[in-house]
Each structure stands twice: as structure tokens, then as C-alpha cells.
Amino acid sequence: MAVARAPKIVPWTSTEEYMNIADWLYSTELSERKRGVAVVKAWRARGRVPAAIDATANLAEIMIADQERRQGMSISQLRHMYSMTLIRFVNSIVDLEQRGTFAQSMTTLASRIGMPAWFVELRHTCTHEQIPSLTVLRSACEQAHSWIGDYYWKRQARSLPEDTMAHIREAIGEYVTLREKTKGGGTNDSISAKKSTTDTRAFKSAKKSLKLLLGQLHEDAVRLYVVPVLVEPGFLVPEDKRMRSQFPDCAMPSRLLQRWSSILRLFAETWGESLFFEELLSGIVAILVPDSSELSIFESSERSPGTSHAATLVAWIGWILQNYYVTNDATVTPAINLDDLLEGCLRSPCYYSRAVLRIVSALDPTLKRELRPFVDFMGKALTALVAAESEAKAGSIKKGIQFSEESLRQEEELMAQRLKQTFETESENTDKLSMDMDSTIDASDLQTQTAPTAAGRWSYPSQSSWSPCPIGTLVDGSIPSLEWPAWLDDVPLHPTPL
């Protein structure tokens, strides 16, 4: 009898997160590489990170630092950083093969795992001899980064085609399209009958190909590939808005149900009702109620779906729960667990999550009593929000009336008087100064040059020409340049005394 292995604790939360790190650490985009390094640092805080992942992040981080060339970093510092990273890389990977009573040489262990021998030689040179040039170290770091990708990361990927998502999208689309054609055929016309026979054969071939593809997919592929395809626009939510549901009833269109009910049952038979429908519900809820931890209650996110899109997703939730959660026999435990669905809706309250909770409450009397306070609270909060928005709009209109043309004209006259007093004072000073200047210069000309009149400086625009603009922008809405002028870099803060 085989002994069950104890579960292994890992710092990542899902296979999707784990494989995403590989894509980020090997991305050509600098921002994605930075993101991958940051996530690995978070993993280190959670627990022990495998040596291969740790080495990959270290190699990526030093290449990022070299590419950005932070201010104040010299060539010598870069060489030392590269050297330490490569030494740590060889030691951490090769030491994993050190087994037995007697220690073996680094070269022997490196050859056992397929590591190039010159990595070990470079490690010895960096440790005991003169540090190599920056060109050699850069090349070694890039090759080490590539080698560990082949040695570790590619072996972790499942044996699926690279374009798995595209294959699934194409197979599902072909199956659904041909099934509709076969269901709609069958007339007495000979040409139509021949076409129907051809469509039937094509449908059987598409169904066989789909089943073959499903047999190659792992359970994780339901969350990573199948559900993301199903929730894309054009699949469970059709592009044609006439085939979508509408609030508040969220009734399932019969044509849409006929199109998808068969293939959903096929997926449930392949992976089990519990696994498939729970993953599908989680994917739908993630679209309906995106994370609103940084938003106020009922504040819309940029990722929020449209009204008819959301109503159709809510209708699918109702259909799934009605067929696979509620059973006629009270003694039978439902196949679907609603913990993730309820948690997602309660964590991110919005109009859509309230509609989902109302569907759950209508189907399950036990949950209805527990969810009623939350549903009532969301309803009151939504009503209060709508009332507050209406009041705010009405208040803004009233405030706009207070800025009358007469009040602005009075303010303009007051400012003009102050400017006139200021210019008259400057004019007297100018007259006194002109007596000491060359007689050929007219004092009135000097006054014109130094003190323009109020009429030339101020003008009153018409009320119809006013247009609002955000604070901190110019009248045309553009953002002024606030950059530090380059010539100020050469100006000393403390001038040297003569």
C-alpha cells in the first residue's frame, strides 16, 4: 500500500501565479521583470523559496540594475555585484546535488546536472582571482539566466501546446457553431438535406476533437484556460446585445441557453460538476465584482462590465445554481460550494453583487436568513448614494447661479482702482527719476514702458466663453511644464565670495 505524501507548503497561492512569475522574469519588458523580482521578494517573506527561483530573481535583478545604471554606481561596483550574483548562483544550484558522506568537487556535481563547466571556473575566478571584465560578467549572467530557464522553468510547464488558449477558443467556437447548424437543419429540400448531413459530420468531428483536447488538459487548465475563454465577450455573453439578459429580472434567453447548455454539461462530465462549476462561478464573480478594496462602496471600477453584459453573467449564475446547487431531495448535499462566490460578493459590494446575493437568497432559505441583513444594507446604501448624487448635482447648479455677472463686474472695478493707485504711485517715482536722466527721454514714454494701464492688462470675457478646467492646468486643459530648467544645474547654491 502506497504511503500518502504530506502536502508541501509553497509561498505561491496558485499554479497560475507560479507560472506567471516565469513569464515576468524572462520578459523583454523591463517593467514586467521588475514585477517578477518584486513578487519573488514577497515569496521570500512568506517562506522558503526554491533555490532555482531565488537564483533566477537574483540574476534578473542585477541585469535590471545594470540596464538602469543607477546614479552613482561605478563600473567597479557593477563588476562586484555581478561576481557575487554568479557565485551565489553556482553555489546554490550545485550544492543541491551534494549528497553522501564525502563531499564531491564542484565540477563533478555541475556535470551531473548539465551545468556548463565554465560556470564553475568563472565562479572560482571571481572568488580567488582577479574579477573578470564587465563584458564577460554580463555575458555570463545572461547565459546563466537562460540556462536556468531551460534547466528548471521549462520542466515545470505542463505538456500543453504553447497556444493552448487559442486551441480551446477555436475548438469551443467550432463546436457551438456547428451544433446550432445541425439543430436548425432538417428540411425536405434535397440540397438542404445534403448540407445538413455535411454539417452533422462536421459537428461530430468537432465534438471528437474537443473531447480529445479536454482529455489532454489538467484540472488546473479549467481555471487557467477554459473559464477565461468562456467569460470572454462572444461566448457565454454574446456580442449581439439582443440575445443578452436585462436587469432587474436577469432572465436567461432561451436561444442562448440552447447554444451553451450542451457544452457546459460536457465540461461538467469531464472534470466533475463541483470542480467545473465552482471555477466558472469564481470566474464570473471576478468580472462582476472586481476588487474594490481601494474604492468606496458602490464606486465603479474601470474593469466593471456593461449593464447587459453583467445581467447576462448574473443570469448564468442563476441557471448554474438552479440546476446544480438546488436539489429536490433535501437530504442530498449540493454539489457546488458557494463559499468563494459569497466571499467575493460580500467583499466587494455593488449593484451586481447585490443581484447575485438575491438569487442565492431566493434559492436557499437557510442562506436567505443569513444574507438578508447584507442585502438590505446594500439596498439602503445604494438608495442613499443615488440620493446624494442627485443632491450634489442640484447643489452645483445653485452654486453656479451665485456667480452672477454683476458680482464679477464689481470685483473687476475694485481691482482696477487698486491698479490705478499703484500705477499713479509708480508714475510719481518715475517723474522724480526722470529729472536725473537724459533730457531726451520723455517721462511719459518711460511710464508707458514700465506701467501699462489697467485697461490694457484686464479684459472682461463674456459669460458664454467660460469653460471649466481641472485645478493645476492651463485654460486649454494642458498641463504646464514644471521641470527644473537645465541651466539651473550649473548655478551654485552658495556663490563663492570674491
**Between 154 and 376, where is the model more confident?**
376
Residues in CB range of 24: below 8 A, 6 or more apart: 32, 33, 35, 36, 39
pLDDT at 387: 76
The single-letter code of the amino acid at 76 is S
Helices and strands in the chain: count of H runs, count of E runs:
21, 0
In the structure, what pLDDT confidence band is assigned to residue 1 with cuts at 50, 70 and 90? Answer: very low
How far is Cα 84 from Cα 73, in angstroms, rounded to an integer?
Answer: 16
- Give residue 472's region: left, alpha or beta (phi > 0; psi -120 to 50): left
- What does DSSP assign to residue 335? S
Rounded to an integer, what distance in angstroms lies between the CA atom of residue 299 and that of residue 291? 11
Least confident interval from 68-82, 147-161, 207-221:
147-161
Assign 233 to helix, strand or coil. strand
Task: Give the span between the Cα atoms of 232 and 223, in whole angstroms.
Answer: 13
Range with the poorest average pLDDT among 15-19, 33-37, 173-177: 15-19
Strand partners, 131: none
d(CA 283, CA 295): 21
For residue 358, give the nearest of 318, 322, 326 by alpha carbon: 318
Q: Using one digit for the tens of pLDDT, what is the confidence trace for 127-154? A: 888 888 888 999 999 999 999 988 888 7
Of the two residues 251 and 412, the one the predictor is more confident about is 251
Percent of the chain surpassing pLDDT 90: 13
Q: How confident is the model at residue 454 (pLDDT cuts 50, 70, 90)?
A: very low
Residue spans of the domains in the chain: they are 15-97+104-156, 160-217, 218-386
Q: What is the pLDDT of residue 447?
A: 43
The grid coordinates of residue 431 equal 517723474
Confidence of residue 22 (pLDDT cuts 50, 70, 90): confident
On the question of pLDDT at 68 being above 70, the answer is yes
What's the pLDDT band for 326 if we cut at 50, 70, 90?
A: confident
In this prediction, residue 256 carries a pLDDT of 92
For the chain, give the percent of residues with pLDDT over 70.
Answer: 72
What values do phi and psi take at 237, rounded to 5? -105, 105
Kindly report each contact of residues 334-339 with a partner whose C-beta sits within 8 Å and lies 24 or more positions away, as own/partner: 335/273, 335/274, 335/277, 336/273, 336/274, 336/277, 336/278, 336/281, 337/274, 337/278, 338/281, 338/367
Give the separation between CA 447 and CA 426, rounded to whole angstroms: 8
- Residues 457-491: tens digit of each pLDDT: 556 666 677 777 777 777 776 777 766 666 666 65
- Mean pLDDT on 394-417: 65
Give whole-number Cα distances, 386 to 20, 24, 291, 299, 391, in Å: 40, 42, 22, 11, 9
How many CA atoms lie within 13 Å of 320's alpha carbon, on the beta-carbon side? Answer: 29
Mean pLDDT of 80-87: 91
Task: Name the most confidently modeled range: 221-230, 301-310, 311-320.
Answer: 311-320
Q: Which cell goes with 61?
A: 535583478
Position 329 scores a pLDDT of: 57
Provide the angle, in degrees to the nearest 10, between the axes of the packed helices 351-363 and 273-288: 150
Mean pLDDT, the chain, as a whole number?
Answer: 77
Cβ burial, residue 467 (10 Å; 0-12/13-18/19+)? exposed
DSSP state of 433: H
Mean pLDDT of 327-332: 59
Higher-scoring residue by pLDDT: 365, 394? 365
Asked whether the beta carbons of 314 and 352 are under 8 A apart, the reply is: yes
Degrees (nearest 5) of the Cα angle 283, 289, 295?
140
Low-confidence winner among 239-248, 318-327, 333-342 (lowest mean pLDDT): 333-342
Q: What is the pLDDT of residues 266-295, one digit of tens each?
A: 999 888 888 899 989 988 988 888 654 444
